[in-house]
Amino acid sequence: METVILEESLKKGEDSSRQFKENLTSIDKLTVEISAFANTNGGNIFIGVDDNGVIKGLSSDDIKRLNQWISSATSQKIEPPIFVQTEIVLSDEKTILIITVPRGINKPYGVNKSEFWVKNGADKRRASRDELFRLMQSSSRLYADEMDTNVEIDAFDFFYFSEFYQMVYGETLDYLNIGKSQLLKNLKLAKDNNLTLAGLLLFGKQVEFIKPQFGIKGTCYTNEDEFLDKEDIGGKLPEQQKKGIDFILRHLKRRQTKDDFNSPGELEIPLPAIREAVANALVHRDYFINSSIFINIFTDRVEIASAGLLPNTLTIENIKLGIHIERNPIILSFMAKFSETGYTGRGSGIPRMLRLCQERKVPLQLINDIARNQFKVVFYREL
């Protein structure tokens, strides 16, 4: 690390990506620091620096001991093992050791097989039960949509499902050689005698009463503080997508593109892009977080915010290239079968959305909002 960059980092102080340690006298404390960074978003541990960012330095014996501890901590005390980078930097004739911990791809990382830590700002704390679920989900070791909802199969809308089944598979349920309950289990829509989350959200009766937190809250503002219209949208996921799109459409303008004033004009935001954004929010949101999807319409923009950050190693840059990780594979596979959703589940939606907006000169922003733990799509409007 160059001296100028080091000085800038130390001036910024500690936060969720930087930790200062004057020295470490316990391998267990070092192990906890590394695992907390790996379970969150990665970061740097500066050893030989006090809490105020002042370089105190390390002796050659300190460096030797710490390197041995790092090797043992990352290969033996943290499970699964993790690889880190180390760098020795000399500044004003004082030596410091910098450990760069990557964002883990095999979360959660346990300390001594029983402790799980995450970063909380500049500090750290033990992970909660729900956070452990999300950590396992982020590394594709656990899927929220496969989990038992404790809602009995009686809440399954078989009439709605039979129409879907005939449309997709070209045959009615009457011709099946297996029972309906077994079919739902085979499709991972049920587990034992209860619906999975996918089964409930896709085909459940009165979803808005059973899981109201997994709906959409739409609000249209006249400015940043006062609202013009609002709607709480519930129901099955395909229904939520349709109603969410309708809420956006009734507040958009149409632009004349021809001399013929009798022509309907085109929407200020391309409809396929809106459809894709709402579908993505429903399919890829983090269902371990009890929060609604928010559609906020302002005079200058339309925001669609869904719970949870991009999973695992995904970034804004690589989703623009069509790379995707299936956070809710059952929901994704079924939503792609509903013809009215316009959703394919092949990872082509984001590139297509970007292309459509570029062609129509509609500014589009994708935001992985770490502070609010949400992913946001923002379409900007002409004033």
Cα 315 to Cα 49, 224, 235, 287, 318, distances in angstroms: 31, 29, 31, 20, 5
Residue 171 is predicted with a pLDDT of 85
Handedness of CA 288, 290, 293, 296 (dihedral sign): negative
Q: Is 210 helix (H, G, I), strand (E, B) or coil?
A: helix
Element (H, E) at 327: none
Q: How many whole angstroms separate alpha carbon 262 and alpha carbon 215? A: 38
Strands (E), the chain: 18-21, 43-47, 78-79, 85-91, 94-101, 110-111, 115-120, 123-126, 148-152, 190-191, 194-196, 216-221, 227-233, 254-255, 266-267, 293-297, 301-307, 364-369, 374-380
pTM above 0.85?
Answer: no
The CATH number of domain 3-127 is 3.30.950.30? yes
Residue 272 is predicted with a pLDDT of 93
Q: Measure the CA angle with vertex 10, ends 6 and 13; round to 5°.
A: 150
89 phi/psi in degrees, rounded to 5:
-120, 135
CATH classification number, 212-380, choose in 3.40.50.12280, 3.90.1200.10, 3.30.565.60, 1.10.540.10: 3.30.565.60
Residue 341 is predicted with a pLDDT of 84
Q: How many whole angstroms separate alpha carbon 285 and alpha carbon 214? A: 10
Pairs from 201-205 (Cβ < 8 Å, separation ≥ 24): 201/145, 201/236, 201/237, 201/331, 202/236, 202/237, 202/238, 202/331, 202/334, 202/335, 203/156, 203/157, 203/160, 203/161, 203/164, 203/236, 204/151, 204/155, 204/156, 204/157, 204/236, 205/155, 205/156, 205/157
Each residue's pLDDT, cut to its tens digit, for the chain (383 residues) gives: 777 788 888 989 999 899 999 999 899 999 999 999 999 889 999 999 999 999 999 999 999 999 999 999 999 999 999 999 999 998 888 999 999 999 888 888 999 878 998 988 888 899 888 788 878 777 667 788 999 999 999 999 999 999 999 998 888 888 778 888 899 999 999 998 899 999 999 999 999 999 999 999 999 998 767 888 999 999 999 999 999 999 999 999 887 666 655 666 789 999 999 999 999 999 999 998 899 999 999 999 999 999 988 877 788 998 888 887 788 999 999 999 988 888 877 778 899 999 999 999 999 999 999 888 899 999 999 87
Residue 177 burial (CB count, 10 A): 6
192 phi/psi in degrees, rounded to 5:
60, -120
3-class DSSP string for 16-67: CCEEEECCCCCHHHHHHHHHHHHHCCCEEEEECECCCCCECCCCHHHHHHHH
CB 210 within 8 A of CB 155: yes
Pairs from 253-256 (Cβ < 8 Å, separation ≥ 24): 253/381
Alpha helices in 77-193 (DSSP H): 129-138, 158-169, 180-186
Q: How many whole angstroms separate alpha carbon 104 and alpha carbon 229? A: 42
Q: How many whole angstroms separate alpha carbon 335 and alpha carbon 11? A: 49
What pLDDT digit, counting tens, does each position of 17-76 carry? 999 999 998 999 999 999 999 998 899 999 999 999 999 999 999 999 999 999 999 999
Map out the domains of the chain as residue ranges: 3-127, 144-206, 212-380
Residue 217 burial (CB count, 10 A): 17
Q: Measure the CA angle with vertex 214, ends 210 and 217; round to 5°.
A: 115
